[in-house]
Amino acid sequence: MIEVLLASAVIGTVLVTWSARNFFRKDGNDGHKEEPLPEKVVQIPLAAVSRTWKLNDCKALNGDVVDLRDLSVVWREPEAEKSASPQPRPTFRIKEIDEFFSELVEKRRAIKGVRRTIIVKILKMLDEEGDCPSVVRKNEKEVENKYPEETFSLLTTIPLYRHSLRVARKCAAKVRQEVMLPDLFIVSLAHDLGKIPSYHERLYSTGDHPLISLVALNNIPEYASLPNRTELDRIIRGHHSMKPDNQLTDLLKHCDQEARREELAALVGNVIDRDKASAKTGSDIPRKPNPLTTTEKPSGKKTKPTEEEREHPLGDIESQELPTPVAQELPSWFDADVILAAVKKRINQLEETPRGTRWTAVSTNHGVVFANPDGLWKAIKEVSGNDPAILAADADETAKRNFLYTVVWELSKSRDAIATDYVAAKYYTTQATIVTGAGKGFTSLLVPFRVEAFGETDSSLEEKKSSRLRQMVREIRPKQVEVETCVI
């Protein structure tokens, strides 16, 4: 009974207070009219939320734990769109695109309104023009210029629409929160739109395919009006960056690379199976050239005459802020002795290439053999057995550096093959000055091997130097031994 009386008293107090406040508002005798509080709009960048997309919750900026479903209002379409009539199902010419729409888009509650329209339009673009090759190299800035001719030729057989769908599926598989799918599908399906000939042919001199992709995507009115368009632009623009600026860019880059490795694995497998089948049918049956073993012939273009004019071993990236290399798991084919043998046969040898005369490794008279990182990479590729991960890394400088770092320090640990006095613990090359026969010096980044690792002496290796090589490289001087001066 007491509890009932107390409850009645509390309810009565609340009603009296409410009535009094309501009376003063109407009467205006309090001299103050309460204005409705403005709705507080909180904008949270997609990248900030994505930092913990693998979990079922994320941390807001103030450190509190908030379920991502509560934050999903950030991506919800305006309320007015909820009453809009259902959009008709689009039709697609290519079966794989139609299946992608049915499985991953059509019945997803999170994919609706403007973003659904954008996704459908991107799929339509891929359906109508996406049967073009998934690799391009017309612009000099294209990362795919780094693929050797044989690898590039293989990848031209993968149509753009198939590669884009594969990347989008991988993005969807790595994200647990449905609310993130619309924007992830937009960037993953559109990240290579710049490779479509109607865009690439017209704009290839303007920039590489990520920039051209943004031109194509921003031609979609609904996309151009998205409130987070700038952020999505940044994700697409940076999907080949060595150091992605946020988690979503890193996710797109990772999925893109993973898709490439799978594609190359299938293509290499097909080549091997074809060669085996051809061998069984008899040698009198003509066989197609194996694109993985074709020797690249020098072109008729003017070549650079001497090593001193050679491009920097790391190309244009030498001036970029480089991420610290990360050790990788060694592949099953790794054999330290075989790799050292592949490097040894290149010491003090010259190679004629389409870009001019090159050397891979040069000995010195102080017990060190300096190898060009690109030359070491060639030796690794030679013994890798066309490992798809190695083939794909030709166009992924981060993956290449990670693997070179792993190999160099494994050779140091297992064979004491590296002159570690010249290399800092987190790097794999040293900065050195190469002095030519004419006395001209230039700086390069080289891997320092110990002569003993090759079972040779300084004098025995010096005897293998030709007069032309001596003119190209008279001396190699490490910049400094101190750790803080080592780079890469």
Which three-class secondary structure state does DSSP give residue 384?
coil
**Residue pLDDT, tens place only, 97-156:** 999 999 999 989 899 999 999 999 999 999 999 999 999 888 777 888 888 899 999 999
Tell me the average pLDDT across 270-287: 60
Per-residue b or e along 235-246, where b marks 16 or more CB atoms closer than 10 Å to that residue's CB: bbbbbbbbebeb
Contact 186, 252 (CB under 8 A): no
State residue 143's pLDDT score: 84
pTM: predicted TM-score of the whole model, two decimal places? 0.66
| Cβ-Cβ contacts under 8 Å for 57 (sequence gap 6 or more) | 65, 66, 67, 68
State residue 45's pLDDT score: 61
**Residue pLDDT, tens place only, 75-93:** 445 544 454 566 689 999 9
**Residue pLDDT, tens place only, 160-194:** 999 999 999 999 999 888 899 999 999 999 999 99
Q: Show me where the domains of the chain are located.
A: 47-81+88-261, 304-485
DSSP H/E element including 431: strand 430-435
The C-alpha atoms of residue 323 and residue 76 are separated, in whole angstroms, by 36
Angle between helices 209-218 and 229-237 (to 10 degrees): 150
The mean-pLDDT minimum among 20-34, 127-141, 149-163, 417-431 falls in: 20-34
Report, in this order, helix, strand and coil percent for the chain, each rounded to 5. Answer: 50, 10, 40
Contact 427, 487 (CB under 8 A): yes
Contact 200, 136 (CB under 8 A): yes
Residue 184 structure tokens:
């992830």
Is residue 475 scored above 80 in pLDDT? yes
Average pLDDT of the chain? 78
Tell me the average pLDDT across 264-291: 64
- Judging by DSSP bridges, how do beta strands 57-59 and 65-67 pair with one another? antiparallel
Backbone φ and ψ for 274, nearest 5 degrees, come out as: -65, -40
Which among 113, 158, 150 has a CA at the least distance from the CA of 391?
150
Q: How sure is the predictor about 446, in pLDDT bands with cuts at 50, 70 and 90? A: very high
Residue 447 structure tokens:
């891997």
Which among 122, 89, 106, 95 has a CA at the least distance from the CA of 193?
122
Taking the CA of residue 175 as centre, how many other CA atoms within 13 Å lie in the half-sphere pointing to its CB? 26
Fold for 47-81+88-261, please state it: Hypothetical protein af1432 (1.10.3210)
State residue 388's pLDDT score: 92
The C-alpha atoms of residue 130 and residue 367 are separated, in whole angstroms, by 55
Contact 411, 434 (CB under 8 A): no
Q: Please state, for a pLDDT cut of 90, what percent of the chain lies above it.
A: 50
**Residue pLDDT, tens place only, 307-346:** 334 343 333 333 345 778 999 999 999 999 999 999 999 9
Residue 286's identity, in one-letter code, is P
State residue 207's pLDDT score: 67
Tell me the average pLDDT across 19-31: 44
Chain centroid to CA 98: 27
Contact 357, 218 (CB under 8 A): no
Contact 258, 396 (CB under 8 A): no
Contact 81, 114 (CB under 8 A): yes
Tell me the average pLDDT across 375-384: 94
Chain centroid to CA 327: 17
Backbone φ and ψ for 59, nearest 5 degrees, come out as: -95, 125
**Residue pLDDT, tens place only, 363-379:** 999 899 999 999 999 99
